[in-house]
């Protein structure tokens, strides 16, 4: 027994340096990424802000920053100016990590059923253990995407990156018609607030009010107020002229159909991605398809819908992901043209 304990102790002592080196590497990479993200928005970074952001104990801060300078990732400290600045080498390394993070977020969004709130944390775990070969293979598998699911540009292998579009919606003016072009996913509470209002990339909005306690917008026929935190995380650009005024159109989904009612599929919500989206498309819920609500369980959920002569049962939360155009009683649905409002 004593021999076994000595063996475990020896293994632990052997693994300790490996774990320490790995933790230090993760902290270095997190630091470079944080400084780069702040530099992108023109915000200076003090050593204390960096320590708070990535969890460095105050007593370790001088040595940590000093080591980043020794490696050549940070510029030398300037007299009377304690802000941290990346060198060209440090920026290149930061862009490498940013690229890995955003590629993994794109993969998690399109190839898995992971919830949007979980993409960031999962990508953060994966980015630190991804080899260059794996990164290039991942990019090729995804079709070399230019943006991640939040609208952030993905750097190329050589570190080239396009400038992020838009500005925070709080910088808009009342009456502006805008389109969502970026959604920041941190902090999670602000991100969840935006998702709860069904706000996604490409969503058109009309700005109603800009106040210190938040921004009020018109969306899908409703007026909603975004908290200051959520407003700061929602980036928009001026929208093209849209005659249909979609921000005034209430959203109708498959879940709104009563038994016997008919709807024509307009598309699937951008909220639905990855495996779940492909499954609904494979089941026949494509733009222009006629759907009838035929059966409902005694509990009220799920409901069976007739799609192309097949009955398909969906839970209410699944049916709410499918946008439809309700068909009035007596309308000849065969004469309706397929709706091209949204691509699959």
Task: Please state, in angstroms and rounded to a whole number, the distance separating the CA atoms of residues 127 and 121.
Answer: 10
What residues are paired with 310 via a beta bridge? Answer: 307
Equal CATH topology for 167-248 and 254-335: yes
The helix or strand, by DSSP H or E, that contains position 324, with its residue range, turns out to be strand 322-327
CATH 2.40.128.50 is the classification of domain 254-335: no
Percent of residues, the chain, with pLDDT higher than 70: 89
* Exposure on the CB side of residue 249, measured as CA atoms within 13 A: 14
Residues 6+ positions from 283 with CB-CB distance below 8 Å: 307, 312
Per-residue pLDDT, 339? 40
pLDDT in tens, 74-106: 999 888 888 999 999 999 999 999 999 999 999
Domain ranges of the chain: 2-86, 167-248, 254-335
- Structure tokens, 148: 């991640």
- Report the CATH number of the 2-86 domain: 1.10.10.10
**Which burial class, exposed, middle or buried, applies to 271 when counting CB atoms under 10 A from its CB (0-12, 13-18, 19+)?**
middle
Rounded mean pLDDT of 181-207? 91
pLDDT at 21 over 60: yes
pLDDT in tens, 51-73: 999 998 889 999 999 999 999 99
Task: Please state, in angstroms and rounded to a whole number, the distance separating the CA atoms of residues 31 and 20.
Answer: 16
- Angle, CA 47 vertex, CA 80 and CA 73 arms, to 5°: 95
- How many Å is the Cα radius of gyration of the chain? 25
Rounded mean pLDDT of 246-273? 88
Residues 6+ positions from 322 with CB-CB distance below 8 Å: 253, 254, 265, 267, 268, 269, 280, 285, 291
Task: Please state, in angstroms and rounded to a whole number, the distance separating the CA atoms of residues 258 and 57.
Answer: 59
Architecture of domain 167-248: Roll (2.30)
Per-residue pLDDT, 19? 56
Q: What is the pTM of this model?
A: 0.77
Taking the mean position of all CA atoms in its chain, how far away is CA 165?
15
């Amino acid at each position: 027994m004593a021999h076994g304990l000595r063996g475990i102790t020896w293994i632990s002592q052997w693994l300790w340096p490996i774990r320490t080196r790995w933790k230090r590497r993760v902290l270095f990479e997190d630091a470079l990424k944080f400084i780069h993200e702040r530099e992108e928005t023109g915000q200076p970074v003090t050593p204390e802000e960096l320590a708070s952001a990535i969890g460095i104990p105050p007593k370790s801060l001088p040595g940590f920053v000093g080591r980043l300078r020794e490696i050549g990732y940070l510029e030398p400290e300037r007299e009377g100016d304690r802000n941290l600045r990346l060198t060209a080498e440090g920026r290149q390394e930061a862009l490498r990590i940013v690229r890995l993070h955003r590629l993994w977020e794109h993969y998690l969004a399109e190839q898995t059923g992971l919830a949007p709130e979980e993409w960031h944390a999962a990508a953060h775990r994966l980015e630190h253990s991804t080899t260059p070969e794996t990164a290039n293979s991942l990019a090729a598998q995804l079709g070399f995407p230019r943006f991640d699911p939040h609208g952030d540009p993905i750097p190329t292998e050589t570190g080239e990156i396009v400038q992020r579009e838009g500005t925070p919606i709080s910088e808009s003016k009342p009456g502006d018609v805008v389109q969502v072009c970026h959604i920041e996913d941190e902090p999670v509470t602000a991100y969840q607030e935006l998702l709860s209002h069904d706000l996604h990339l490409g969503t058109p909005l009309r700005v109603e009010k800009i106040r210190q306690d938040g921004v009020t917008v018109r969306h899908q026929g409703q007026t909603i107020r975004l908290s200051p935190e959520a407003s700061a995380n929602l980036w928009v650009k001026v929208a093209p002229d849209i005659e249909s005024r979609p921000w005034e159109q209430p959203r109708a989904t498959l879940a709104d159909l009563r038994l016997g009612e008919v709807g024509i599929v307009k598309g699937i919500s951008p909220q639905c991605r990855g495996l779940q989206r492909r499954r609904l498309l494979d089941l026949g819920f494509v733009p222009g398809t006629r759907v009838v609500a035929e059966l409902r369980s005694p509990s009220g959920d799920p409901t069976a819908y007739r799609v192309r002569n097949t009955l398909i049962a969906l839970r209410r939360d699944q049916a709410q992901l499918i946008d439809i155009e309700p068909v009035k009683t007596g309308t000849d649905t065969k004469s309706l043209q397929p709706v091209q409002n949204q691509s699959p």
